[in-house]
Amino acid sequence: MRAESVCGRVRADASAWLDDELDQATSRSIASHLETCRACAAYVEEIDRARSAVRLQLVEAVPDVADEIVKSVAERGPRERSRQGLVDHLRVGMVAAVVAALIVAGASIPGVDRPPDVASADEVGDGIRAAARSIDTYRATYELVERGWHPLVRERRFHAEVSYAAPDRMRLVVRDITLYPGRTGWPRNDVDLVANASGWWLREPLDCPPATLPGCGPERPVERAVVHRQPFDGSTPVPTDLVLPLESVAGSDAVTVVGVERVRGRDAVHVRIPYLQAQGLISSLQLGGSWRVFHPLDPVDVWLDRDTSFPLRFTVERGRSAERAEWARQAGYRDRGSTLFEATLTGLDRDLAGESFDVPAALVTRDGGFRATEDVPDLPLPRDVAGLSPFTSGVTEAGERIVAWSRGMQWLKMTVLREPASVVTASGELIEAGGKAMYYRPASPERGREVELRWGDRRIVLVSNLPRAELLRVAASIPVEAAPIGQTVRLGDRTIERLTPQNAMSYGFVEAPSWLPPGYEARLALVTRTDERATVSVHYRRGEVLDGGTEIRITHMDDVDRLWPSSERYIVVAIGDVAARFSSGRGELEWIDDGVYRAISAPGFDLPTIVAVAESLR
């Protein structure tokens, strides 16, 4: 690999490396490069110095929030906000779908029919999970329409083809068929992805921010690849959620079933979910190239074939809240129409004759560090693997031992490693099952559900897209003794201590909200200590740890007099007589209250609800 290519990759990953967000193999590769490349070492040092220098500067000036937001907060008292929060946020969720041995073709949507026997959200999820074990191969074609990407381009159109072979092989081809104004200076957004059990390859156009178009430069496709990747690596761009979004639908606790309608001549179950939770589905067709961004609470509608659960159509609609309008203005979007993105299934087949999933070579290639081998001794394999079959096993350069199982689209990976406790044991839910102490963390768009057990001086980590109950049953069947870890965990230069929510109140600067959405209560508190200060985060959850992205986290930090600067553009909101800033993209409200930094992270809720929680802290 050329030196400038290595340096370019290292500098692109510098910020993530400083934040410990990369996998171990990549982190070690960057650290090794920095030992021998003085230019890159100086570059990373400068970034780290700049980040440290600006952490406690004044918040930059940002436009004030629209009057409608303030009016909404003022008019909706806690009682009304309780009722509306329950309606707004228990009725959102997510869905997508699975298998079929049929060709779908036909006319546009002819109308709506809502029979009384509409499936419940739980039944929709059960159907998807059942289908997950039987799917093996399929090929689907889609027609895509995207609106609002650039002020001069009213809409873009694409043709996409997805081929899949269980459990881990995928090919995606996206072709841009847009008629651009002027015909020149607009890079075609053509994308190719190939992934298999040992690696992936991606080719995409040169990244040209929409603001620089037209005329960004010649069309020079960029290629990159990973070899020797770990099985079911969450960082790998394999769009399996489009095939069967087990996490975005069956794994969610907030699915809304709208009804049954006729789509392309077939009965389809219509479900609605916020984009925040539907990212796995939408982004499955947007893995490379340049695409517009959506607001976390933009509604996503999905129509699932009633017989097969396969998505016949899905759309992203424009949200109507005042904060969403302000977000669009700051982001440069001039969204006027209702539908911003739509994908329509035009063909479906199980025949993959002639399809190849071989990964081509690329100029920029990263080694994932995994080597497959059947010789992985002394592993305490679970007695119950939920009916899955052996898939692969091997070791990593870091000495991790891995065994994986699969059946259809469902998979399970067990990793045994000699390392101190991780963020899973620090922030996960402590569960006692089968006489063992284990720590559970819900799934996210980047990873499956995780369960961690401490086995002597080693950790056993299970990651899977199995349902929570099945994964816990698998963990309980591992033939080891697993005791709880200590309440204090050391992670780098940080010490994290698990507390009860009641004990967190012993920190004088911590305040508990007097109002929360119905059903929410404090479930976990963490204190993170560095040499400079202590930060207390209290996690509020509904009932138990759920997988729907519905947690509310309130963070408190003492002896802070200025908000951290950021390149984000914020909405300014008044919390009493204090000015707070709200990041619509992250769903986080931050402010300084008499020398105490407070932040409420609740990306699944609208701004009036988050402000109501903030006001109840005072």
Residue 46 lies in a domain: yes
Amino acid of residue 142: Y
Q: Which residue has the higher pLDDT, 76 or 467?
A: 467
Number of domains within the chain = 4
Query: What gap in Å lies between CA 30 and CA 10, rounded to an integer?
Result: 6
Same domain, 413 and 338: no
CATH number of the domain that residue 477 is part of: 3.30.200
Highest mean pLDDT among 8-12, 38-42, 58-62, 363-367: 363-367
Same domain, 261 and 203: yes
Of the three residues 484, 506, 539, the one that is the final residue of a domain is 484
Residue 447 lies in a domain: yes
Q: Tell me what the pLDDT averaged over the chain comes to.
A: 78
* DSSP 8-state secondary structure symbol assigned to residue 209: -
Predicted local distance difference test score (pLDDT) of residue 38: 63
- Over range 561-571, report the average pLDDT: 82
Q: Which domain holds residue 233?
A: 91-349
Query: What gap in Å lies between CA 368 and CA 27, rounded to an integer?
Result: 11
* DSSP 8-state secondary structure symbol assigned to residue 119: P
Predicted local distance difference test score (pLDDT) of residue 422: 64
Of the three residues 438, 462, 484, the one that is the final residue of a domain is 484
Strand-pairing partners, residue 261, are 112, 268
- Over range 302-328, report the average pLDDT: 86
Query: What gap in Å lies between CA 244 and CA 411, rounded to an integer?
Result: 13
Same domain, 429 and 334: no
Same domain, 187 and 292: yes
Q: Which residue has the higher pLDDT, 486 or 319?
A: 319
Of the three residues 349, 382, 414, the one that is the final residue of a domain is 349
* Contact yes or no for 457/442 (Cβ under 8 A): no
Per-residue pLDDT band for 427 (boundaries 50, 70, 90) equals low
Q: Which residue has the higher pLDDT, 217 or 190?
A: 190
Predicted local distance difference test score (pLDDT) of residue 598: 95
Residue 503 lies in a domain: yes
- Over range 231-245, report the average pLDDT: 69
Predicted local distance difference test score (pLDDT) of residue 8: 63
What the block records as the tokens of 489 is 């965990």
CA angle, residues 107, 109, 110, in degrees to nearest 5: 90
Residue 495 lies in a domain: yes
Q: Nearest to residue 551, comparing CAs of 467, 429, 434, 446?
A: 429
Per-residue pLDDT band for 167 (boundaries 50, 70, 90) equals confident
Element (H, E) at 174: strand 169-176
CB contact set of 605 (below 8 Å; sequence gap of 6+):
85, 88, 89, 517, 552, 587
Residue 178 has a CB neighbour count (10 Å cut-off) of 17
DSSP states along 472-483: HHHHHTSSS--P
Same domain, 8 and 105: no
Q: Look at residue 546 and tell me whether its pLDDT is greater than 70.
A: no
Highest mean pLDDT among 282-291, 461-470, 522-531: 461-470
Residue 78 lies in a domain: no
CATH number of the domain that residue 566 is part of: 3.30.200.100
Per-residue pLDDT band for 128 (boundaries 50, 70, 90) equals confident
Residue 126 has a CB neighbour count (10 Å cut-off) of 14
What the block records as the tokens of 317 is 């609609």
Same domain, 334 and 383: no
Same domain, 298 and 427: no
Same domain, 252 and 122: yes
Enter the pTM of the model. 0.70
Same domain, 13 and 161: no
Q: Nearest to residue 193, comparing CAs of 239, 229, 230?
A: 239
Q: Look at residue 298 and tell me whether its pLDDT is greater than 80.
A: yes
Residue 341 has a CB neighbour count (10 Å cut-off) of 25
Query: What gap in Å lies between CA 386 and CA 192, rounded to an integer?
Result: 34
Same domain, 252 and 123: yes
Predicted local distance difference test score (pLDDT) of residue 118: 63
Residue 363 lies in a domain: no
Burial 406-416 (b: 16+ CB within 10 A, else e): bbbbbbbbbbb
- Over range 47-56, report the average pLDDT: 41
Query: What gap in Å lies between CA 545 and CA 541, rounded to an integer?
Result: 7
Residue 22 lies in a domain: yes
Residue 10 lies in a domain: yes
Predicted local distance difference test score (pLDDT) of residue 370: 93
Same domain, 7 and 150: no
- Over range 438-442, report the average pLDDT: 86
Same domain, 479 and 496: no
CATH number of the domain that residue 271 is part of: 2.50.20.10
